[in-house]
Amino acid sequence: MAEVPAGHSDDFRRKWDKEFFEKLARERLKREKEEKDVVKKGSKREKLKAREYKIDLDSQVGKSVVVAKNAPLDQSGGYYCNVCECVVKDSINFLDHINGKKHQRNIGMSMRVEQSTLEQVKRRFEIVKKKKDEEKKKYDFEERMKELREEEEKVKEYRKEKRKERKRKPRDDDDLDEGMDPEMAAMMGFSGFGGSKKSH
């Protein structure tokens, strides 16, 4: 602060001209207000909106990096933000940084969110509903195809068993006839099922 001479004084204390400093303060406030108005008029920031790109957080997982003493920032390890030209050491802090006020201002966005209209909300609901219906149809189709494949497998297995039974059946009849006494078979009524003919 500048000291203003206020004439000769015998008490050796500083004397300040209050009117002079009040005038300086008013001029400074007026200048600052004008600068803010120019900034507000000159840079209309966009409303905050969702990112349309994917953030790569997994590419550096499990990798070791040798960092030189005088390496540039983007090669110094960690997550580099090329908008703010800074390095963040871990993924959680990097996400906090890119969602933060400073980063959003640097990419030309304000932290205000645009108010959605009724039509925008209705359109969004329609899009989500269509997506769910498509997923359901896809699921139903895949489920139906799986059921059809299972049915085909069961039919094939059934046919296979039938073929095996047909092959086994004649052998079973022959075994039955060979193992039994012909007189006993005749007495039990098995004589008409085939086998050797008896001569009377």
Chain segment 65-111, per-residue pLDDT in tens: 777 788 777 777 788 888 888 888 888 899 999 988 888 888 888 87
Phi, psi of 80, deg, nearest 5 = -100, 130
pTM over cut 0.75: no
The pLDDT value recorded for residue 41 is 55
The pLDDT value recorded for residue 107 is 84
The pLDDT value recorded for residue 43 is 57
